[in-house]
Structure 1
Amino acid sequence: MRTTASAEAGELERHLGVLDAVVIGLGSMIGAGIFAALAPAARAAGSGLLLGLALAAVVAYCNATSSARLAARYPQSGGTYVYGRERLGDFWGYLAGWGFVVGKTASCAAMALTVGTYVWPGHAHAVAVAAVVALTAVDYVGVQKSAWLTRGIVAVVLALLAAVVAACLTGGTAQAARPDVGGTATFGGVLQAAGLLFFAFAGYARIATLGEEVRDPKRTIPRAIPLALGITLVVYAAVAFAVLAVLGPDRLARTAAPLAEAVRAAGVPGLAPVVRVGAAVAATGSLLALILGVSRTTLAMARDRHLPHALAAVHPRFRVPHRAELAVGTVVAVLAATTDVRGAIGFSSFGVLAYYAVANASAWTLTPVEGRPARIVPIVGATGCLVLAFALPLASVVWGAGVMVAGAVAYALRRAATRT
């Protein structure tokens, strides 16, 4: 129950338990990524995408461990924006928040366009904007309602993915020798595949950014993050292996809808339309959780006046950052109406990897009393983030680095203006 003191302080209510936090994480990770990321990963690495998946999972595990320890120490909205500010200084917190807000806003647009593409390909942009408006309205009326909707979406998507795996492995066309794990993949190709697949793992950040709305965060967050990540890894590995077994790396690389193509090739064409619906539902779940996470980081940055302070308002009835949610929803709707999904994914991956590099650096500074992870965890996490970020396609690296530099310049100009 919300107290008068917390209401007057403009704080959010702690509604979410372990199950709700895990479901929100799953809703972010088991989304459009599994339906869309396999093909570009196969183009980069062939069947080596399985190695890329393993590498992305290792980096994600390190990031998750660092984030969980920091979130237990600082159970506030904002995630790595807060951790970087508290452990490394104001600039690094700002840079992490900037990378997250910009990168994930692009990711929101990508998810919205994925919904539009699967629901009504000829009018993808219009459907995408409608989806953004509808889900922003859901987020506006309270995080509990968002968690319940996400729970239903996750259940549907998990059931669908289980059906896809079963169809692929029992349809008579699977060849266990096809996913040879290495194939002719190059080292650079595996790294690029890992960077692209990391996009689909990054949803556990949503659990940390909702830290101010989680009950008993010191216990809940460290349990919820690795649980969500572990479930996602098992699901992704099973789906990737099954699809590779049916299509092979070359055919997988050429298809725009790999799971639908796989069930057709497996001799179950009647399941393909269901997969299309499932992809739209999964992208909707990702979009819902993404809007939640971006708006909470926007709230934290607005509280510190890195963004307009008006965005720090909390709704007196629904106890959500309503102005931040409306602002994020508006920007995402504009992007969904005007941009392309492909560039948004690579751009988002660069920003998110930069965000987690700051998280790992922050975790390095924790003391044993503060719950510091083993030293190897933040080292591997930070190094992996930087390597995968610069292994992405060149256009994504150039645009991502340019936006991060622009954010740093804006920070310096603001600091100079406040000193005069």
Structure 2
Amino acid sequence: MTRTLRRQLPVSDTIALGVGGMLGAGVFAAFGPASAVAGTYALVGLVLAALLAACSAFSTADQARAFPGDGAGYRYTTHLLGAWPGRMAGSASIAGRLAAAAAIAGTFGAYVTPSRPLFGALGVLAVATALDVVGFRLNRKVNWAVVAIVAITLGLVVAACFAVPPPPITNAPDADQPLGLLPSAGILVFAFLGFERITAPALDEPSFTARRLHLAIPVTLVLVLGVYLAVGAAAFRQLGPSRLALSPTPLLDAVTSADGQWLVPLVAAGAAVATVAALLGVLSGARQTVTAVANNDNLPAVLKHDRVAGWAGGAVAAVLAVAMEPSTAIGFAACAMLAYYAFTNASARILLREDRTWPMRTACFGLGLSVLYGMTMPPFLLAATIAVVLLGSAGMSLYRRTV
């Protein structure tokens, strides 16, 4: 099945759309939990996370071309691997995206309303959910503005951190943990969530030819990786791994350490713009997956309606924001999405030749990396992910038998 071409965007706009999708909460908050498990080895873990993101982007792009529409990864996993793997992939995708929404909202609260972070998190979740439900989308000009604001903010952070010598830093003896390299890579997968804005767009969004994506996906990922490496190196330079691991707002603490108090309002504003844009994207992705699962009669029929699915997803994300600290939500979202990418890469591995535009080896590599990173995640995150995936798929199966 070949995707019917719809409205197209120039390559530059395609790249900006992908960059805007990935430069969200990850760059402002993910280095903390990654540093907690690996120290400065997290910068190497970032490169490993980018490798998995690339493989998964290739796989989801091919799946979306072969099976266009909402929840392409879930639907093609069901089509190729069977009902149970599809339900497990759907459970992992929904859980991962809603946990990511909670983490992004928590990051907004920490940066923008530091005196009342939970209030800010729940407020931005309510606004973003309402905007998603009424069909608000970032258009071309707004997306370019988001990318420009966030890029300027991060550029100022990097410049300030490298312009001023760091203060004397006392780290714990075991701050740098080479054995934490793979867990940090798994956590930092969170930093690359959002590439599906260009690899698997909804039917009412612009589509992209395979030729265009063959340029846009690598360029987008290289640009985002370069930004993350620069920001991560700057934050580690000013704070050191121990302090970075404990900071809920590492970029604010980094510029403050670099005598850049005047930058604090600018960094908070940049974080607000980045997190709101990312939150709109992740809530939209969760809603699309929920409706796709419901349309397959694995969830109640009422969730086939976009508005009901959107409000339900926002409510669950709000509960997760209350129940989990942003760093925990980041780890759980990354672990759940690793499970989802394992299924999507597994199904992409056996795509028919006419549906494939990327080599099969990339899907095999993505499957292996997803399993490897997932199995090395902190035990409580791995256990929680396995429980959610199994219970979610079992619940879907039981519901399916009753309809």
TM-score computed with the length of structure 1 as normaliser: 0.84
**Correspondence 1:292 to 2:284:** yes
| Superposed displacement of residue 17, structure 1 | 6.8
The percent of aligned pairs where both chains have the same amino acid is 36
Find the aligned partners of 1:246 and 1:361 in 2 and give their Cα distance: 41
Determine whether 1:125 maps to 2:113: no
Moved more, 264-273 or 54-63: 264-273
Task: Give distance in 2, aligned partners of 1:330 and 1:34.
Answer: 25
**Aligned-pair CA distance for 1:221:** 5.4
Structure 2 residue aligned with 1:156 = 149
* Partner AA of 1:382 in structure 2: L
Once the two structures are superposed, what CA deviation does each residue of 1:359-390 show, in whole Å capped at 9, x if it has no partner?
11111112333225323211221111111112
CA distance in 1 between partners of 2:40 and 2:271 (Å)? 23
Matched, 1:52 2:45: yes
State which of 379, 383, 386 in structure 1 corresponds to 2:368.
383
Task: Compute the displacement of 1:288 (Å).
Answer: 1.3
One-letter identity of the residue aligned with 1:284:
V
Counterpart in the other structure of 1:274: 266
- Residues 83 and 28 of structure 1, relative CA distance in 2, 3 Å threshold: same
SS in 1 for 2:46: helix
1:253-294 deviations in Å (ceiling 9; x for gaps):
343322222222333232133223322332222211111111
Alpha-carbon displacement from aligned partner over 1:284-317 (angstroms, at most 9, x marks no partner): 222111111111111211211212222223xxxx
More deviation in 76-85 or 248-257?
248-257
1:81: which partner in 2?
A: 74
Q: Which position in structure 2 is the counterpart of 1:189? A: 180
Structure 1: state its 5+ residue gaps: 1-12, 314-320
> RMSD value over aligned CA atoms?
2.8
Shift of residue 107, structure 1, vs aligned partner: 1.4
The separation in 2 between residues aligned to 1:71 and 1:173, in whole angstroms, is 47
Structure 1 pair 254–106 and aligned structure 2 pair: CA distance change class (3 A): closer
Q: Distance in 2 between matches of 1:323 and 1:275?
A: 35
Q: 2: CA distance between counterparts of 1:132 and 1:151?
A: 23
CA distance in 2, matches of 1:109, 1:187: 29
| 1:353 and 2:345 are equivalent in the alignment | no
Normalised by the size of structure 2, how large is the TM-score?
Answer: 0.88
**Alignment length, in residue pairs?**
394
Partner SS state of residue 211, structure 1: coil
Distance in 2 (CA, whole Å) between partners of 1:324 and 1:14 is: 26
Query: Is the 1:64–1:226 Cα contact (8 Å) retained in structure 2?
Result: no
Tell me: CA distance 1:341–1:252, structure 2 relative to 1, closer, same or farther (3 Å): closer
Structure 1 residue 24: Cα displacement: 4.5
Quote the Cα distance in structure 1 between the aligned partners of 2:116 and 2:133. 26
Q: For residues 222 and 323 of structure 1, what CA distance do their matches in structure 2 show?
A: 36
Report the CA distance between 1:84 and its aligned residue.
0.6
Aligned residue in 2 for 1:398? 383
Q: 2-side partners of 1:211 and 1:342: how far apart?
A: 29
Contact kept in structure 2, 1:76 and 1:82, CA below 8 Å: no
* Counterpart residue identity of residue 163, structure 1: L
> How far apart in 2 are the matches of 1:157 and 1:406?
38
The structure 2 residue matched to 1:65, chosen from 58, 76, 81, is: 58
- Alignment of 1:103 onto 2:88: no
Unaligned stretches of 5+ in structure 2? 1-5
- From 85, 94, 107, the counterpart of 1:92: 85
- Aligned partner of 2:3 in structure 1 is none
Correspondence for 2:312 among 310, 313, 327: 327
The amino acid of 2:272's aligned partner reads: A
Task: Give, in whole Å, the separation in 2 of the partners of 1:326 and 1:341.
Answer: 21
Q: Distance in 1 between matches of 2:141 and 2:299?
A: 30
Distance in 2 between residues matched to 1:18 and 1:140, nearest whole Å: 29
1:303 paired to 2:295: yes
Name the SS for the 1:392 alignment partner.
Answer: coil
**Amino acid paired to 2:184:** A
After superposition, where does 1:8-47 map in structure 2 within 5 Å? 22-47=15-40
State the distance in 1 between where 2:384 and 2:215 align: 35
> What SS does structure 2 have at the residue aligned with 1:329?
helix
2-structure distance, mates of 1:126, 1:267: 29
Q: Does 1:248 align with 2:240?
A: yes
| Contact preservation (8 Å) 2:110, 2:249 | no
Q: CA–CA distance in 2 between the matches of 1:76 and 1:133?
A: 26
The structure 2 residue matched to 1:344, chosen from 309, 320, 329, is 329
Q: Which amino acid counterpart does residue 315 of structure 2 have in structure 1?
A: T
Deviation for aligned residue 1:121? 2.5
